[in-house]
Amino acid sequence: VQTVLETPRLILRELVHEDAAPLAGILSDPETMQFYPAPYDRQGVVDWIERNRRRYAEYGVSLWALVLKTSRELIGDCGIIPQHVDGELLYEIGYHLRRDFWHQGLATEAAIACRSWGFAHLPVHRMISLIRPQNVPSRRVAERNGMTIWKEVEWRGLPHCVYSITREHADRLTASPSQGSRASR
């Protein structure tokens, strides 16, 4: 399976149909999916993998599997999803992590890597994250990824914050990481 990128603790690779069982441990967990309309059932997980594989073929990006280097387990997903927001095609950084791996900075590590990868490989001016206002952990990951709230939109029938980072701002963070979120807190 194709590896897309690597961070100190994680490998990001394309999702395959065989990932359905470990993914269900994430996408079918009610607490992990509390900000979604409902957790995915078995068929929902299979369809979700298929949608991601179609986006790899069409756009070259989508959510990728997060594999922990130490154990080789799939513990989540993170990647770049093309989304139509307010009639504009934008590239969103998304992430879901298995609950027993929360609070270790793993989602932040993956999201920052996806941001760098996106600006290096896609001709985009900005990248976004679409987040329900109540989803504090996800908002913290977006902030750690250098993003700020750009606007608020109704998306798939629910209010969402559109977090955003422009290429110029991302370049400045890369050139001078001390300006990054951790140091400026």
Q: Give the interface with ligand COA as residue ranges (CB under 6 A).
A: 32, 35, 95-97, 102-108, 131, 135-138, 140-141
Measured between alpha carbons, how far is 180 from 185 in angstroms, rounded to an integer? 9
Q: Is the CB of 4 or the CB of 138 nearer to ligand COA?
A: 138
Q: Is the CB of 55 or the CB of 57 nearer to ligand COA?
A: 55
CB of 16 to ligand COA, least distance (A): 21
CB of 46 to ligand COA, least distance (A): 19
HEC sequence for 93-154: EEEEECHHHCCCCHHHHHHHHHHHHHHHHCCCCEEEEEECCCCHHHHHHHHHCCCEEEEEEE
Q: Which residue has the tokens 């290096």?
A: 120
CB of 141 to ligand COA, least distance (A): 5
Q: Is the CB of 25 or the CB of 137 nearer to ligand COA?
A: 137
Measured between alpha carbons, how far is 26 from 100 in angstroms, rounded to an integer? 10
CB of 143 to ligand COA, least distance (A): 8
